[in-house]
Chain A
Amino acid sequence: MNKVKHLIEPDDLTNSEIESLISKGMDIYDNPKNYSDVCKGKIMASLFFEPSTRTKFSFDSAMIRLGGNVIGFSDASTSSTSKGESLADTIKVMSFYSDIIVMRHPKEGAPKLASMVSEVPIINGGDGGHQHPTQTLTDLITIKRFKGNITNHTIGFCGDLKHGRTVHSLIKTLSRFEGNNFILVSPKELRLPEGLKYQLTKQYGTKFTEVETLDEVMDKLDVLYMTRIQKERFFNEEDYLRLKNSYILTNDKISNAKANMIIMHPLPRVNEISYEIDDDPRSVYFEQSRMGVFVRMALITTLLEEAK
Chain B
Amino acid sequence: MLEVKGIKEGIVIDHIKAGNGLKLFNLLMLEYINCPIVLVMNVDSKNLEKKDIIKIEDKFDLDLDKLGLIDSNITVNIIKNNKVIDKKNVTIPKKVKGTFKCSNPRCITNSDDYISPSFKLIDSKGTPEYLCEYCEEITKYDGYLLNK
| A residues lining the B interface (CB < 8 Å) | 86-88, 105-110, 112-113, 116, 127-130, 193-196, 198-199, 202
Contact with A along B69-83 (1 / 0, CB 8 A): 000000000000000
- Complex Cα spacing A116 to B136, Å: 17
Given contacts A107-B107, A129-B106, contact A113 B112 (CB under 8 A): yes
Q: Verify if B113 is at the interface (C-beta below 8 Å from A).
A: yes
> Which residues of B are in contact with A by a Cβ distance under 8 Å?
104, 106-109, 111-115, 122, 131-138
Check A109 against B132 for contact (C-beta < 8 Å). yes
Closest-by-CB residue of B relative to A86 is B114
Pair B134/A106 contact, Cβ less than 8 Å:
no
Please, how many angstroms separate the alpha-carbon atoms of A125 and B133 in the complex? 18
Q: Please name 25 pairs of A and B residues whose Cβ atoms are closer than 8 Å in the assembled complex, sorted by A.
A: A87-B112, A87-B114, A88-B112, A106-B106, A107-B108, A108-B135, A109-B107, A109-B109, A109-B132, A109-B134, A109-B136, A112-B133, A113-B114, A113-B134, A127-B108, A128-B106, A128-B135, A129-B106, A130-B135, A194-B137, A195-B135, A195-B137, A195-B138, A196-B136, A198-B138
Q: Are A198's CB and B131's CB within 8 A?
A: yes
CA distance in complex: A193, B115 (Å)? 23
**Distance in Å: Cβ of A12 to nearest Cβ of chain B:** 13
- A193 near B134 with CB under 8 A, answer no
A128 CB contacts on chain B under 8 angstroms: 106, 135
Number of A-B contacts (CB under 8 A): 67
| Chain B, Cβ-Cβ closest to A112 | B134
B119 to chain A, nearest CB (A): 11
B interface SS class:
loop
Q: Find chain B residues with CB under 8 A from A194 CB.
A: 137-138
- Give every chain B residue within 8 A of A116 (Cβ-Cβ): 115
A87: nearest chain-B partner, CB-CB: B112
Given contacts A108-B104, A109-B108, A113-B108, contact A86 B113 (CB under 8 A): yes
- Closest residue of A by beta carbon distance from B130: A195
Q: Which residue of A lies closest to B102 (CB)?
A: A109
How far apart are B53's CB and chain A's nearest CB, in angstroms? 37
Give the residues in chain B near A129, CB-CB below 8 Å.
106
Chain A residues in 8 Å Cβ range of B132: 109, 195
Which A residues are CB-close (under 8 A) to B115?
88, 113, 116
- Which residue in B112, B122, B131, B133 is a CB contact (below 8 Å) of A107? B112
How far in angstroms is the closest Cβ of chain A from B139? Answer: 9
Verify B114–A199 contact, CB threshold 8 A.
no
Q: Please name 15 further chain A to chain B contacts, defined as beta carbons within 8 Å, in addition to the given A128-B106, A202-B122, sorted by A numbering.
A: A86-B114, A88-B112, A108-B135, A108-B136, A108-B137, A109-B108, A109-B133, A109-B135, A129-B106, A130-B135, A130-B136, A193-B137, A195-B131, A196-B136, A198-B138
Q: CA of A128 to CA of B137 in the docked complex: distance in angstroms?
A: 12
In contact, B106 and A199 (Cβ under 8 angstroms): no
